[in-house]
């Protein structure tokens, strides 16, 4: 696979830069500079000012939003792309929240920022943006990063980097990104820091938290980061329990027949790192019905957008192409939505958008890079030992699950949490939102588990109001409402 290289000095890029400047300059007089009056410092240091987004095509003029984007070098010739939004109010007092998407290979810009919890969502037409009134930067200063290299706009000048990707490589790059980003934005160094994410970020988030925690103990060699905790949604956590939960969820929710369930249950030993051929064949029959419905939200209508054009693939082909085998263990990308992926790709491949975001690559931007999933070295079977370590360390940890997700079902996550053997503080009970049951919650010593009723794999997309309440409770230390 070709490396992603910075190409700011190419003639094409210079020509497009002039074009982008003309567009942005003209739009200045139409919409004004989209910078919040609540920006953290004025004037900003030069390194921050160069990353400020003054005009983003299609951005609504109200409310004003203070946001920044650009590259943070994590290793010579290797840089991760970020998009940062200051909190809508009191940014000097609110925590810093990092969001990571999984895949591996899926973009936190394309999902977290532009589809789920960012203040600017891509419109369904893909031609502009709309304000998200349920954005999480109501509660925190919100930082998105495209990780690992090869995802989205993040790049490496060394092609061999893309053959080394595993959880350890990703955690190291994410740590260096965080340290170097805080050096660029030093006003946030003293803020409480939390990490969040979904899907395969169920690996990324706890692993980064562990790295920060360990290096905080060595302040002679590493800067201190005010890590307070993490929250993960529909997270891949333990291959055995996640696979067991996926199979049982499909059967218990009438996706597969008794016969298919019994066959897979009989021939599959999910404790094995590599599935047998018999198990893979049996699991093919488990996955087949998901080519007809959305595995990421089993009761939602499927996207029909791709079936309207002869040049586009069908829902069957799109999903089937994501049945991947790595070391004889079938893996499917986390966080895939064909309709929203199409809108995001239309928007972020516009040259005026890329110039406004300070993008330095000329390669096509994709919501998910399938080649990352194909080449990724899945070396970590379970994250549960990290949970035990960080619970003992006293970090605040929440796990949430949309209960309509077939990809990382609530059943598997329940199995994972029960395997920790934590003492219970408050038993399983309902929480309420707008006089309706928002989901269920159970509190353990050191961990809180929350379900979100009616949400799929992308909880902030499916249930934005409930998701905002969830992150508010997590960050504020308040309890989710237990009455109408």
Could you tell me the residue range of the domain that residue 227 belongs to? 11-233
116 CB-side CA count, 13 A: 29
Instruction: Return the percentage of the chain with pLDDT > 90, whole number.
Output: 74
How many structural domains are present in the chain? 2
Report how far residue 142's alpha carbon sits from residue 91's, in angstroms, rounded to the nearest whole number.
Answer: 10
Domain-located, residue 347: no
Domain-located, residue 179: yes
pLDDT of 64 reads: 92
H helices, E strands: number in the chain: 15, 15
pLDDT of 45 reads: 75
159-168, 190-199, 466-475 — which is least confidently predicted? 159-168
pLDDT at 39 over 90: no
Confidence tier at 302 by pLDDT (50, 70, 90)? confident
Residue, of 235 and 49, whose pLDDT is higher: 235
Report how far residue 169's alpha carbon sits from residue 437's, in angstroms, rounded to the nearest whole number.
Answer: 41
pLDDT of 341 reads: 81
Q: Which CATH number characterizes residue 415's domain?
A: 3.40.50.11320
Domain-located, residue 244: no
Report how far residue 327's alpha carbon sits from residue 381's, in angstroms, rounded to the nearest whole number.
Answer: 13
Report how far residue 484's alpha carbon sits from residue 479's, in angstroms, rounded to the nearest whole number.
Answer: 14
Average pLDDT, the chain: 87
- Among the candidates 233, 261, 288, a domain finishes at 233
Record the tokens describing residue 452, joined without a space: 């979100």
Residue, of 40 and 480, whose pLDDT is higher: 480
Record the tokens describing residue 57, joined without a space: 């095509």
Give the pLDDT confidence of 340-349 residue by residue, as tens digits. 788 899 999 9
pLDDT at 14 over 50: no
Give the pLDDT confidence of 99-141 residue by residue, as tens digits. 999 999 999 999 999 999 999 999 877 689 999 999 999 999 9
Domain-located, residue 410: yes
Q: Which CATH number characterizes residue 38's domain?
A: 3.40.50.1820
Domain-located, residue 262: no
Domain-located, residue 260: no
Confidence tier at 472 by pLDDT (50, 70, 90)? very high
Q: Which residue has the tokens 């200051």?
A: 86
- Among the candidates 182, 200, 233, a domain finishes at 233
Confidence tier at 194 by pLDDT (50, 70, 90)? very high
pLDDT of 484 reads: 78
- Among the candidates 233, 263, 285, a domain finishes at 233
Give the pLDDT confidence of 270-294 residue by residue, as tens digits. 999 889 999 999 999 999 999 899 9
Domain-located, residue 137: yes
pLDDT of 42 reads: 55
pLDDT of 305 reads: 67
Residues designated as active site: 199, 405, 457
How far lies 348's CA from each of 255, 399, 430, 450, in Å? 35, 31, 40, 33
Q: Nearest 5 degrees, angle CA 18-CA 368-CA 86? A: 60
Give the pLDDT confidence of 309-336 residue by residue, as tens digits. 333 334 444 444 444 444 455 555 554 4
Confidence tier at 43 by pLDDT (50, 70, 90)? low
Confidence tier at 264 by pLDDT (50, 70, 90)? very high
Q: Averaged over 425-450, what is the pLDDT?
A: 97
Give the pLDDT confidence of 336-391 residue by residue, as tens digits. 455 778 889 999 999 999 999 999 888 899 999 988 988 899 999 999 999 999 99
How far lies 223's CA from each of 71, 170, 174, 274, 296, in Å? 20, 19, 15, 39, 39
């Amino acid at each position: 696979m070709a490396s992603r290289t910075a190409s700011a000095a190419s003639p094409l890029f210079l020509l497009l830069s002039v074009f982008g400047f003309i567009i942005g300059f003209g739009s200045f007089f139409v919409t004004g500079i989209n910078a919040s009056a609540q920006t953290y410092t004025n004037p900003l240091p030069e390194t921050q000012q160069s990353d400020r987004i003054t005009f983003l095509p299609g951005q609504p003029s109200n409310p004003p939003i203070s946001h920044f984007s650009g590259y943070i070098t994590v290793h010579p010739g290797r840089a991760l792309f970020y998009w940062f939004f200051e909190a809508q109010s009191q940014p000097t007092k609110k925590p810093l929240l990092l969001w990571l998407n999984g895949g591996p290979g899926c973009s936190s810009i394309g999902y977290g920022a532009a589809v789920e919890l960012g203040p600017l969502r891509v419109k369904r037409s893909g031609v502009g943006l709309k304000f998200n009134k349920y954005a999480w930067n109501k509660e925190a200063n919100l930082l998105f990063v495209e990780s690992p290299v090869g995802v989205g706009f993040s790049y490496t000048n060394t092609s061999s980097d893309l053959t080394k990707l595993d959880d350890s490589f990703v955690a190291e790059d994410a740590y260096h990104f965080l340290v170097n980003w805080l050096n660029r934005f030093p006003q946030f160094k003293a803020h409480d820091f939390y990490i969040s994410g979904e899907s395969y970020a169920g690996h990324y988030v706890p692993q980064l938290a562990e790295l920060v925690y360990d290096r905080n103990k060595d302040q002679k060699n590493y800067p201190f980061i005010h890590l307070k905790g993490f929250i993960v949604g529909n997270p891949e956590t333990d291959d055995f329990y996640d696979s067991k939960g996926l199979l049982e969820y499909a059967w218990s929710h009438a996706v597969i027949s008794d016969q298919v369930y019994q066959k897979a249950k009989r021939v599959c030993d999910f404790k094995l790192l590599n599935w047998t051929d018999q198990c893979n064949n049996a699991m093919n029959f488990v996955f087949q019905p998901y080519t007809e419905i959305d595995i990421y939200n089993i009761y939602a209508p499927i996207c029909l957008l791709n079936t309207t054009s002869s040049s586009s693939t069908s829902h069957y082909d799109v999903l089937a192409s994501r049945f991947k085998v790595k070391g004889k263990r079938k893996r499917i990308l986390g966080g895939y939505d064909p309709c929203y992926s199409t809108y995001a790709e239309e928007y972020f491949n516009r040259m005026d958008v890329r110039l406004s975001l300070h993008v330095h690559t000329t390669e096509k931007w994709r919501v998910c890079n399938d080649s990352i999933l194909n080449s990724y070295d899945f070396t970590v079977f379970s994250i549960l030992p990290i949970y035990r370590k960080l619970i003992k360390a006293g970090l605040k940890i929440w796990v949430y699950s949309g209960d309509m997700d077939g990809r990382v079902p609530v059943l598997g996550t329940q199995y994972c949490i029960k395997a920790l053997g934590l003492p219970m503080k408050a038993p399983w009970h309902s929480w309420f939102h707008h006089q309706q049951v928002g989901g269920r919650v159970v509190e353990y010593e050191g961990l809180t588990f929350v379900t979100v009723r009616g949400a799929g794999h992308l909880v902030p997309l499916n249930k934005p109001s409930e998701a905002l309440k969830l992150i508010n409770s997590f960050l504020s230390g308040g309890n989710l409402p237990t009455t109408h």
